[in-house]
Amino acid sequence: MSFPAGWYDDPQDSAQQRYWDGGFWTDYRRPREGPPPYPPPGRPAFGQQAQQGQYGQQGQQGQQQGQQTYGQPGYAQPGQQGYGQQGYGQQGYGQGLGQPGMGRQGYGPQPHGQQGFGYAPTVKSTPDGQPLAGWWKRVLARVLDGLILFFCTLPLTGYFFYQYFQVAVDYQDDIFEQAAAGETQFGTGLPWEAYQWLLPAMVISLVISFFYEYFFVTRSGATPGKKAVGISIRLRDVPGPPPGEAVVKRFSLYNGLSLLGIIPLVGTLFSFLALINDLWPLWDDKKQALHDKVAGTNVVVGPQQPRR
């Protein structure tokens, strides 16, 4: 049985919780306040009947324990039916805490929701508690996706890039020869012939990149590179893969700045803005880049449920 992603009791430390991404434990932890209503994945719930002698005798000993701890009768030790007859409800330790149904079922963990103890996580997260991805994971995912796209687009763009580099190398050789002859030439960039080869290559790359990102993100919330490092994209306030409109906004701003960076004279400004956009999550309190803010998205730890 697989459990949904969420916060569960840490199997290594009962005083804190750990984020389960749906398949594996992550390194994100937060303190737990109050008694543990649910166990971590793979452990039985406290609402189940314990084996004879596992947690102590049933009956009077549980009542005495409840009176000593809370001053109320019926707070039995874990493993007895209902965890006591008064205070926290009948069978299972869940109904009295605003978690309907879990006490009776008594099997498997459930994430701590907004009800119950009402404490805030110590890690930065979305409003519903999913941890935000770190900056380095985002960078690594971009690098992996870039390598995939490079090999996918190379058959269509290789010739254009080859011609572009030929023109660029010839231009640099001319500059060095003129400098050796004592002639000084000032220019604002490469000759127009170079851009005639570069622009088609970039347009082809952008078109393929757009369909690549749109296809994967709208269906599963993550490109192959993001899946490899265990992160995904979602709307900040709504879980699940983001809609197509949000994906278009993210892609347009991110890649638009890169494309404008090749324009002579003003390209330096746009390249600087592209760098600021990449670094913005490092100091942003919501860990959003500028393209995330435009689209209302967050990059988070863990997968999103695919759209059907």
Domain boundaries of the chain, sorted by first residue: 6-105, 135-301
| Structure-token pair, residue 227 | 């899946």
User: Among 135, 91, 84, 103, which Cα is nearest to 299's?
Assistant: 135
Say how many CA atoms lie within 13 Å of 292 toward its Cβ: 24
Distances in Å between the Cα of 17 and the Cα atoms of 12, 142, 147, 179 are 9, 30, 36, 66
Selection from 88, 97, 112, 99 nearest residue 39 by Cα: 112
CB 239 within 8 A of CB 152: no
CA 66 to CA 88: how far, in whole Å?
A: 11
pLDDT at 49: 41
Q: Which phi and psi angles does 119 have, rounded to 5°?
A: -100, 160
Give 86-120 as a DSSP string.
Answer: SSS-SSSSSGGGT-TTHHHH--S-----SSTT-PP
Residue 300: band (very low, low, confident or very high) from pLDDT cuts 50, 70, 90? very high
Average pLDDT over residues 108-130: 59
More confident residue, 14 or 281: 281
CA distance 231 to 137: 8
Percent share of the chain, pLDDT over 90 = 40
Supply 136's token pair.
């380095």
CA separation for the pair 6, 235 (Å, rounded) = 17
Specify the 3-state DSSP secondary structure of 58: coil
pLDDT (tens digit, 9 = 90+) per residue, 59-109?
A: 444 445 444 444 444 444 443 444 444 444 333 333 333 333 333 333 344
Residue with tokens 């805030």: 120
* pLDDT band per the 50, 70, 90 thresholds, residue 19: confident
Q: Residue 4: which pLDDT band, with cuts at 50, 70 and 90?
A: confident
Mean pLDDT of 141-166: 93
More confident residue, 114 or 287: 287
Give whole-number Cα distances, 198 to 24, 132, 142, 301, in Å: 44, 37, 22, 36
Average pLDDT, the chain: 75
Task: Specify the pLDDT at position 11.
Answer: 80
More confident site: 56 or 277: 277
For the chain, percent of residues with pLDDT exceeding 70: 67
Higher pLDDT, 178 or 110: 178
Q: What is the pLDDT of residue 116?
A: 39
Residue whose token pair is 């790359």: 205
Q: Which helix (H) or strand (E) holds 30?
A: strand 25-31
